[in-house]
Amino acid sequence: VLRLVTSLVLRWPQGINAPNKEYWLQTPQRLRHFERLAREDLMLIGALTTLLFAAISVMTGVAAHREGGELPGVFFSVIMIAFMAGILGLVVRMLLGRRYQPSDEAV
Q: What confidence tier does 104 reach under pLDDT thresholds 50, 70, 90?
A: low
DSSP the chain: -HHHHHHHHHH-GGG---TTHHHHHSSHHHHHHHHHHHHHHHHHHHHHHHHHHHHHHHHHHHHHTSGGG---HHHHHHHHHHHHHHHHHHHHHHHHSSTTS--TTT-
* pTM of this structure: 0.80
Per-domain residue ranges for the chain? Answer: 2-96
pLDDT of residue 103: 77
- pLDDT tens for each residue of 10-21: 899 888 888 888
- pLDDT tens for each residue of 23-45: 999 999 999 999 999 999 999 99
